[in-house]
């Protein structure tokens, strides 16, 4: 079952309130396993109240990101590049984004686009 199958993931979240502790624990462990398999953290899934991800950076400006965030972005790009069926244009764009991270030219807008691209591709496949 794919990690980003939205309906099954929401169903697991709903089980966290189940009165049966075993059901609740099994759901929590499945959620944890899926997030680890996808190399995601809660901050990758949750947005702040203002609709962003809680990291402030002017629109289009480079994000002063710690090494962990850059590593997460690299990992996401690598996961996307490993997918079959990507167009040459998308592969070039992702490769360019990798170079932008290395050069410090990767903005918060780029990160949101990258996460949105992953969500669209996951829904399609």
Alpha-carbon Rg for the chain in angstroms: 16
Rounded mean pLDDT, 32-50: 71
pLDDT in tens, 95-116: 999 888 888 888 888 888 898 8
pLDDT in the model for residue 48: 55
Distance CA 101, CA 6 (A): 29
The phi, psi pair for 104, rounded to 5°, reads 80, 20
């Amino acid at each position: 079952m794919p990690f980003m199958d939205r309906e099954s993931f929401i169903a697991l979240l709903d089980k966290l309130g189940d009165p049966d502790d075993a059901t609740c624990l099994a759901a929590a462990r499945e959620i944890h396993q899926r997030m680890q398999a996808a190399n995601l953290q809660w901050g990758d899934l949750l947005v702040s109240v203002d609709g962003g991800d809680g990291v402030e950076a002017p629109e289009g400006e480079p994000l002063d990101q710690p090494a962990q965030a850059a590593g997460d972005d690299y990992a996401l790009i690598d996961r996307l590049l490993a997918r079959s069926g990507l167009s040459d244009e998308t592969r070039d764009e992702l490769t360019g984004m990798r170079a932008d991270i290395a050069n410090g030219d990767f903005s918060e807008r780029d990160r949101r686009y990258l996460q949105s691209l992953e969500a669209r591709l996951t829904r399609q496949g």
